[in-house]
Amino acid sequence: MPALFPSLYQAPDKPALRFGGRVIGYGRLAGAAHALALEIADAGRVAVWATSSPHTCVGVLAALLAGVPAVPVNPRVGEDELAHILTDSTPNRVLAASGDELPPALEALPRTDVTLGPEADPRPDGTTSAPDENGPALIVYTSGTTGPPKGVVVPRRAIASTLDDLADVWRWTGDDVLVHALPLFHVHGLVLGVLGPLRRGGTLHHLGRFSPEAVAAALEEGGTMVFGVPTMYHRLAGALEAGGEAGGRLAAALGGARLLVSGSAALPPHDHERITAATGQRVVERYGMTETLMITSVRADGERRAGTVGVPLPSVDVRLVDDEGRRIEDGDGETVGEVQVRGPNLFTEYLHRPDATAQAFAGGWFRTGDMATRDADGFYRIVGRRATDLIKSGGYRIGAGEIENCLLGHPGVAEAAVVGEPDPDLGERIVAWVVPAGGPPPTEQELVDHVARRLTPHKRPRAVRFTDGLPRNDMGKVMKRELGRG
């Protein structure tokens, strides 16, 4: 029996995957993945053309059954980045649906079409022997902020550990139907959103394209959990606030869900408040990254504190350290430190990058580069990345996220991103990029005063720049290094 998926062969008639109107039961899924696993068992690594389709799920599942590392490839990847990924990971073949048109670099590889054949009766002992739990399961490429993307080698034990921890803190069972529209080339949509339901023996309902209407319909049809990123929840909050028949339907659907989970970036308090006011639901936030999978979460059966990412997962050790690497012992909710992590959830290495792997660790602790505070109850609040979100201005250490949330509380602000820019007097000055909401736009001074009144004067922006939109990646995260370019 495959260790990662103990329920795969137990209920062949139960729905495993739903994409649009296509429903695939566990029997059919297991048969297709089992057959493909036998076909690719001798491959060194396989690239998976990771469209939002059941074929991606079958391809990755087959690789995991065969013990072959899978390299998920973003279908929107550019030529240069794709060339780097293929040169770095050296896959032996590519898995894709038969109708998928691949870029030339992937077409040059031997191709195996992923099919969703008729239901089969696979024998678990027909695949290769059980893979080593410390062996590589996935190689996921990070966004290259300081150079070419690095291949994060995620072992099987990390996947099992993270998913079992989440089953504990979220009370996740085989009875849950997970609704999401996340891309399937990253750990949020793929590990949590696909492998999570399959490990529990539950069901994934993938929407294909996100919309508030699609979320409402999926929940009405039996969905129990929703996974999303802040951009999605912002749109849900706007649809709820708009009211009308559609808003009322959405409020009832979200209110009936067992769990709403947001991740990949902080969910602004304003959106928390709007969703709770309309539905009675409090969104659960969690925190993780490609190298660590999940680190902390608000518990489903515990206090749901808006703006925090909860407490460490059961198998994960977390600490905050200061600039000198000394552990911050007391949680006062104010002292900012870097998050460091150790546990079975960690990646093995950056592929072919022993230098980068060594630099990422301090005495066995992974250095996340994320800055956070911890309160007396152990709840963590992420204030941003050390490189882009920690601003040192006038002798103060200031988290950009706090100022962004404050700006988002102004009715004239739709989106906000705060960065630090070099300043000869302050060291760094606070600069806010703002997308105005509908109606008369606020003035720069109005927003500066808004922050100074609600926070403290030293946290006020020294400049406000208005823009039509903020640059975001596929997961909805603002790419702050792109602000001001072009």
Kindly report, residue by residue over 71-94, the tens digit of the pLDDT: 999 998 888 889 999 999 999 999
Output the pLDDT for position 1.
37
d(CA 157, CA 135): 8
Task: List pLDDT tens digits, range 260-275.
Answer: 999 887 788 888 999 9
Rounded to an integer, what is the distance from CA 78 to the centroid of its chain? Answer: 21
- Mean pLDDT for 456-460 is 81
- Give the residue with greater pLDDT, 329 vs 447: 447
- Give the residue with greater pLDDT, 120 vs 33: 33
pLDDT category at 131 given cuts 50, 70, 90 is: confident
Q: Where is average pLDDT lowest: 204-208, 256-260, 428-432?
A: 428-432
Identity at 161, one-letter amino acid code: S
Output the pLDDT for position 147.
62
Task: List pLDDT tens digits, range 210-246.
Answer: 999 999 999 999 999 999 988 899 899 999 999 899 9
- Mean pLDDT for 299-306 is 88
d(CA 321, CA 371): 9
By DSSP bridging, strand 151-155 and strand 177-180 are unpaired
CA–CA distance from 307 to each of 79, 179, 284, 297, 355 (Å)? 38, 23, 9, 12, 35
Give the SS3 label for residue 113.
Answer: strand
Output the pLDDT for position 387.
65
- Mean pLDDT for 300-318 is 92
477 has pLDDT over 50: yes
Backbone phi, psi, residue 192, to 5°: -75, -45
Q: Which of 195-209, 398-412, 458-472 has the highest mean pLDDT?
A: 195-209
Sign of CA dihedral 408, 410, 415, 421: negative
Output the pLDDT for position 2.
46
- Mean pLDDT for 444-455 is 88
**At CB < 8 A and 24+ separation, what contacts does 100-108 make?**
100/49, 100/51, 100/55, 102/49, 103/77, 103/79, 105/79, 106/47, 106/49, 106/73, 106/82
Could you tell me if 346 and 329 are in contact, meaning their C-beta atoms sit under 8 angstroms apart? no
Task: List pLDDT tens digits, range 8-24.
Answer: 988 999 999 999 889 99
Task: List pLDDT tens digits, range 44-61.
Answer: 999 999 999 999 999 999
Q: Is 79 left (phi over 0), alpha (psi -120 to 50) or beta?
A: alpha
d(CA 273, CA 104): 48
Output the pLDDT for position 306.
80
Output the pLDDT for position 146.
52
Give the SS3 label for residue 114.
Answer: strand
Q: Is 414 left (phi over 0), alpha (psi -120 to 50) or beta?
A: alpha
Six-digit token string for 439:
């109606």
486 has pLDDT over 80: no
> What does the mean pLDDT of the chain come to?
89
Residue 287: Cβ-neighbour burial (10 angstroms; 0-12, 13-18, 19+): buried
pLDDT category at 457 given cuts 50, 70, 90 is: confident
Output the pLDDT for position 388.
64
